[in-house]
Structure 1
Amino acid sequence: MKRLSAGLLVFLAVMMASFNGPALAQAFREPAKGSAERAAILDTLRPAVEAEMRGPVEFVVTIIRASPNWAFVQVEPQRPGGGLIDPEETGFAGESDMMDGLTVYGLMSFQSGRWNLIDHMVGPTDVGYAVWQQRYGVPPAILGLE
């Protein structure tokens, strides 16, 4: 009887994990266009990107995911009004042939009542942000790596 009980417990634990896994993996939201939260997340990333792009930028958002403690974005920077950014006129001059465009990936954490930039990268040729899961303890679902 004890073997049956132990086996039943293991079976139930596996079943609960399989049912709860996908639900837990989706524990993020996509802040709506025009929302204060979305603006705050993007404004946290903006100063670092503007420094690298050597001028003002606005973002075309490809991905934005947020949880209570983390935010992850994939954005395309452009000049205000939609102007293209010439990589040779940025901090990446001479390196753009080794980059995959100017796509920006950013990771923010929510601490002390505000969003804080943790890390970002511009134009990686692989999934460079995958290390953020282990390095910073960010949930894989936020990064789209579940």
Structure 2
Amino acid sequence: MRFLALCLTLLPLPLGAWETPRIGTALRADLMDAMRPHAEWIFGAPLVFRVDELRVDGDVAFAMLEPLRKDGRAMTPADLIPGHSRDIFEFDGPAMQALFRRSGNTWVAVHWAIGATDAWWFGDPYCSDWKSVIPEAC
């Protein structure tokens, strides 16, 4: 998955309007806060994210994230809350991807995955709404 993320960042992309919110901005914090409950449901709290990719255009966003413990320690199978499958560590660890939509003043992780072994966001049905933040996928 990290190889795919690297390839996606090195591909020449059509000029787009998406932006990457800077560290410390309210927008970036809001997006991480939208994803945090999903990660905490799997790993428990507290946790933070290493951001591999973050794109925002208007009311839609795309993220590639790595959940970490607050001390920066990588997640391990021992961190899983009982009942969650260790399969997410089988290939490239607990990398997470999400497609977000803003609803009023709140960001919502509408589609997300953890430990995905493919680029699930490529193509339909995601392009109709998120093309501006995943142009290489559409």
* Alpha-carbon RMSD: 2.2
Aligned pairs, number: 123
CA 119–46 in structure 1, closer or farther in 2 if over 3 Å, else same: same
Provide the rounded CA distance (Å) in 2 between the counterparts of 1:138 and 1:77.
Answer: 26
Moved over 3 A (4+): 91-94, 96-99
Provide the rounded CA distance (Å) in 1 between the counterparts of 2:30 and 2:117.
Answer: 28
The share of aligned pairs that are identical, in percent, is 24
* Structure 1 match to 2:131: 140
CA contact (8 A) 1:87 1:102 kept: no
**Higher RCO structure, 1 or 2 (CA under 8 Å, sep 6+):** 2
TM-score (norm 2): 0.77
* Greater Rg by CA: 1
Query: Which ranges in structure 1 are unaligned for 5 or more consecutive residues?
Result: 1-21
Q: Residue 60 of structure 1: SS of its match in structure 2?
A: strand
Aligned positions of 1:1-146 closer than 5 A: 22-23=14-15, 26-91=16-81, 92-96=84-88, 98-131=90-123, 133-135=124-126, 137-143=128-134, 144-146=136-138
TM-score (norm 1): 0.73
Q: Residue 67 of structure 2: SS of its match in structure 1?
A: strand
Query: Which ranges in structure 2 are unaligned for 5 or more consecutive residues?
Result: 1-13
Q: Residue 130 of structure 1: SS of its match in structure 2?
A: coil
Question: Could you say which structure has the higher helix fraction?
Answer: 1
* Structure 1 match to 2:11: none
